[in-house]
Amino acid sequence: MKVRIMTLEDIEDVFEVEQKSFQVPWTVDAFVAEIEHNEKARYVVLEIDGKVFGYGGFWKILDEGHITNIAVHPDVRGKGYGNYILEGLLKIAEEEKIHAMTLEVRVSNKIAQKLYEKYGFNPCGIRPKYYQDNGEDAMIMWRNEKN
């Protein structure tokens, strides 16, 4: 098992994870655009025995990071792999001198909230009706280097 930078060759596996993880998945083209054209994008994959089973990413905006998504394939969920993906993102953030990170997470997704809290993210607000698929609210979480 290893966490490494995402490449275009990973997109097919990443898209499979995406489809199995989200009701409104990103498209293949969206991932290609992130890798090829978005200079703010930083993405990692979780590879097990040569196959991608998870990924995560954030956008670097000045000295802050905005986590766009983290997902683990349903076949390997519950084994702590989300920790490794988040740690990979935080390592990149540290290397790039990013001092604060934010994200949105479904208010119903208590498992993800616990993961983020474990790494110093704190709830700071709500975005009402944030999610397109069902209008669910999103919890805004922030992590500051000082925490």
User: What pLDDT, on a 0 to 100 scale, did the predictor assign at position 78?
Assistant: 94
Q: Tell me, yes or no, if 95 is annotated catalytic.
A: no
Domain 2-144 is classified in which CATH homologous superfamily?
Gcn5-related N-acetyltransferase (GNAT) (3.40.630.30)
Residue of 116, 117, 130, 136 with catalytic role: 116
pLDDT of 109 over the 80 cut:
yes
Q: Tell me, yes or no, if 104 is annotated catalytic.
A: yes
- Per-residue model confidence as pLDDT tens digits over 42-95: 999 999 999 999 999 999 999 999 999 999 999 999 999 999 999 999 999 999
| pTM of this prediction exceeds 0.75 | yes
CA dist., res. 96 & res. 118, Å (int): 22
Cβ atoms 1, 47 nearer than 8 A: yes
Q: Where are the domains of the chain?
A: 2-144
Pairing of strands 122-127, 100-106: unpaired
Name residues whose C-beta falls within 8 Å of residue 122's C-beta, 6 or more positions apart in sequence: 141, 142, 143, 147
Over range 8-31, report the average pLDDT.
96
* Type of residue numbered 53: F
Residue of 104, 130, 131, 145 with catalytic role: 104
Average pLDDT, the chain: 96
- Per-residue model confidence as pLDDT tens digits over 84-108: 999 999 999 999 999 999 999 999 9
Please give the DSSP secondary-structure letter assigned to residue 107: T
